[in-house]
Structure 1
Amino acid sequence: MATHLDLEEQEQLDRLKHFWATWGNLITGVLVVVALGVIGWQGWQYHQRSKAAGAAALYDEMLRASESGDTARVERALADMKDKFAGTAYAPQAGLLAAKALRDKGNAQASQAALAWVSEQASDPGYQAVARLRLSAELMQAKSYDEALKLLDKPVPKEFEALVADRKGDIFLAQGKRSEARSAYEQAWQGMDAQDAYRRMVEIKLNAVGVDASTLKAKP
């Protein structure tokens, strides 16, 4: 019986050796690839968490600088954000915050540059749209009407389309183009929900260009 078991164990051992000789390198390679993948994924997650923490700290620094009116610190913080954390969610927020702080201190050029950066570089289309609307308002105040309209011709998420139309109406009206302004305001009014408080402001603008909003048919 012992001899039989020894022979059986030897046969199993021989099979195992044969199997490992045939597939051992492949199995080892697969295990190495899997291990490297796990290590790489964990490293990437750690890197992302580190970046997010750094971006959050820098955003807080910019917020304090903005509240104190220190535009030099605001500009330095924004430059660091662009350089080190441009791909984080804090970057477009920082750009919008910096633009407001710089605009409030009368630095229109730097404000417009910050908004232009967000409108071009933000990964979120919503932040891009907000930046374009704000930048178009600044360009309109600077009487750069054509540049503002060109900026607003770029596609935006559907929820911003009515606001873009309203801004175009303002620009056309500033140019003395009442017909184009009327069409833009009508588009804005029709694109807004009946419960939207800003729709009332658009109605006032429509009245100013000779349109009674009650005669318009709202879009479904």
Structure 2
Amino acid sequence: MAYDLEEQEQLDNLKALWKKYGNLATWGLIIILAGYAGWTAWTARQAGQTLHASQLYEEMQKFVVAKDNAKVQAVADDLKSKFSGTSYAHMAALVAAKSAFDANDLKLAKTQLQWVADNSKLEEYKALAKIRLAGIALDEKAYDDGLKHLAGTFPAQFDADVLDAKGDIYVAQNKIEDARTAYKAALEKMSEKSPGRQALQMKLDVIGGATDTKVVSK
């Protein structure tokens, strides 16, 4: 497919939006869930493994604040090996993936996310992991892998995020019609009060909300 200079500039603007808003959206969900997990540590009042796991998780949060990625990974791996049956192990892996991503260690981030996708009993955590794996695949230009992560069934509350992520990959592949369809479907699924709605609308505006397109074949 061939693009004129104006269209290429629009695509460049869209990619800038991905960097500014795309990662923030799904990583933000991880931060929210991290806070929720910390809160449940005090309210659940469960004994044994869960209590010990919650203490390790709280310790890991200190290393997150200090941006000590090595210690974050060490505690996360400890939780995964000793307390894999608790939600703290899976939440720790998600947070460790964010820490590794911030440290530009995409390989380690993918390893942590894939563990959650393969092992978590909570569909919400699995969904977050798969969406983030798709985001990293987009960064690495592994578009087919990204779409594979987004295939299958997700909890309904993640439908908009999945469609949004698919749209990003389609734009990177220059499949503008597919991207437009995905973004529009994501907007329909997204709540009017959703904080990500404005960024999604901006993406759609950049590639043109109308069904017509200036894209022409070579």
Same fold (TM over 0.5): yes
| 1:50 and 2:51 aligned | no
1:194 Cα offset (Å): 2.4
Give the total of aligned pairs: 166
1:183 to 159, 175, 181: 181
Q: Secondary structure at the match of 1:193?
A: coil
Residue in structure 2 matched with residue 139 of structure 1 by the alignment: 137
Residue 180 of structure 1 aligns with an amino acid whose one-letter code is D
Residue 91 of structure 2 aligns with an amino acid whose one-letter code is Q
Residue 203 of structure 1 aligns with an amino acid whose one-letter code is Q
Residue in structure 2 matched with residue 103 of structure 1 by the alignment: 101
Mapped to 2, the partners of 1:101 and 1:192 lie a distance apart of: 28
Residue in structure 2 matched with residue 77 of structure 1 by the alignment: 75
- Which 4+ residue blocks in structure 1 deviate beyond 6 angstroms? none
Residue 62 of structure 1 aligns with an amino acid whose one-letter code is M
Q: Secondary structure at the match of 2:154?
A: coil
Residue in structure 1 matched with residue 121 of structure 2 by the alignment: 123
Output aligned runs, 1:13-32, within 5 Å: none
- Cα gap change, 1:83 to 1:197, in 2 (>3 Å): closer
Give me the identity figure in percent. Answer: 36
- Cα gap change, 1:153 to 1:68, in 2 (>3 Å): same
- Cα gap change, 1:212 to 1:199, in 2 (>3 Å): farther
1:126 Cα offset (Å): 0.8
Residue 163 of structure 1 aligns with an amino acid whose one-letter code is D
Using CA pairs under 8 Å that are at least 6 residues apart, name the structure with larger relative contact order, 1 or 2: 2
Residue 139 of structure 1 aligns with an amino acid whose one-letter code is A
Mapped to 1, the partners of 2:108 and 2:48 lie a distance apart of: 29
Which is worse superposed, 87-96 or 203-212?
Answer: 203-212
1:61 Cα offset (Å): 2.3
Mapped to 2, the partners of 1:96 and 1:174 lie a distance apart of: 26
1:207 Cα offset (Å): 1.8
Mapped to 2, the partners of 1:198 and 1:103 lie a distance apart of: 21
1:59 to 32, 57, 60: 57
Q: Secondary structure at the match of 1:49?
A: coil
Which is worse superposed, 195-204 or 112-121?
Answer: 195-204
1:58 Cα offset (Å): 1.4
| 1:88 and 2:86 aligned | yes
- Cα gap change, 1:172 to 1:81, in 2 (>3 Å): same
8 Å CA contact 2:80–2:90 kept in 1: the answer is no
Gaps of at least 5 residues in structure 1 are 1-47, 214-220
Q: Secondary structure at the match of 1:87?
A: coil
1:159 Cα offset (Å): 0.8
Q: What TM-score results when the alignment is normalised by the length of structure 2?
A: 0.71
1:70 Cα offset (Å): 2.5
Which is worse superposed, 161-170 or 130-139?
Answer: 130-139
The structure with the greater share of residues assigned to helix is 1
Once the two structures are superposed, what CA deviation does each residue of 1:154-208 show, in whole Å capped at 9, x if it has no partner? 3110010111001100011011111111111111011112232322222222222
Once the two structures are superposed, what CA deviation does each residue of 1:5-41 show, in whole Å capped at 9, x if it has no partner? xxxxxxxxxxxxxxxxxxxxxxxxxxxxxxxxxxxxx
Mapped to 1, the partners of 2:145 and 2:47 lie a distance apart of: 39
Which of the pair has more CA radius of gyration? Answer: 1
Mapped to 2, the partners of 1:76 and 1:204 lie a distance apart of: 39
1:212 Cα offset (Å): 4.7
